[in-house]
Amino acid sequence: MRGLTKATISRSGKITLLLGISVVALLAGGCTPRPDSRPAFTAEQQLERGVKAYYDGQYSLAERDLLEVTRRVPGDGTAWFRLGNLYMREQKLDQAAEAYQQALVRQSSLDKAWHNLGVVQLQLAQRHFQQLHGRLPVNSPLRLRTDYFDKAIGQLLAEIPANPEVDPENE
């Protein structure tokens, strides 16, 4: 130790102390049970759980599970499609449109997502015309036009046939 300076000893002491703390921490970590690092559910099980919650009317649980599936399986469009259905049911039309678009980016073959996106876009268009109507002065030339589009879109939406064989909420 003759050739060592005070700074060298100090640095060496710090290294020894850090190594000692690291060893103690590793040993202490082995004494406590480690939480299981695996998810409680597979992504498929979580999707099923989210769909069941949706049909049971537990929308917040459904949303949480479906969003988690979109995070865990980013390339799959099914959970996005289901989220779109959830948001559509809750009349969160902007979020529904976004979810259907995300589904189609991932799986452009989801025909029901295309259908539902079209319906949501019609609903959004009607909402926009209704908002415009409320903003326009009574004598505005646009008022008649916005009334026409609001009614036309409303009739179109009302005339969508209910076909039990084609349920746009299911794949």
- pLDDT tens digits, 106-140: 999 999 999 999 999 999 999 999 999 999 999 99
Contact 66, 82 (CB under 8 A): yes
Asked, for residue 110, whether it belongs to a domain, the answer is: yes
Residue 23 pLDDT more than 50? Answer: no
Asked, for residue 18, whether it belongs to a domain, the answer is: no
DSSP state at residue 89: H
pLDDT digits (tens, 9 = 90+) for 53-65: 999 999 999 999 9
Give me the domain span that covers residue 47: 43-158
Q: If we measure between CA atoms, which residue out of 90, 161, 96, 86 comes closest to residue 122?
A: 96
| Exposure string for 89-117, b = 16+ CB within 10 A, e = fewer | eeebbebbbbbbebbbebeeebebbeebb
Asked, for residue 59, whether it belongs to a domain, the answer is: yes
Tell me how crowded residue 134 is: count the other CB atoms within 10 A of its CB: 8
For position 123, which CATH number holds?
1.25.40.10
What was the pLDDT predicted at 116?
A: 94
Number of domains in the chain: 1
Asked, for residue 94, whether it belongs to a domain, the answer is: yes
Residue 103 pLDDT more than 80? Answer: yes
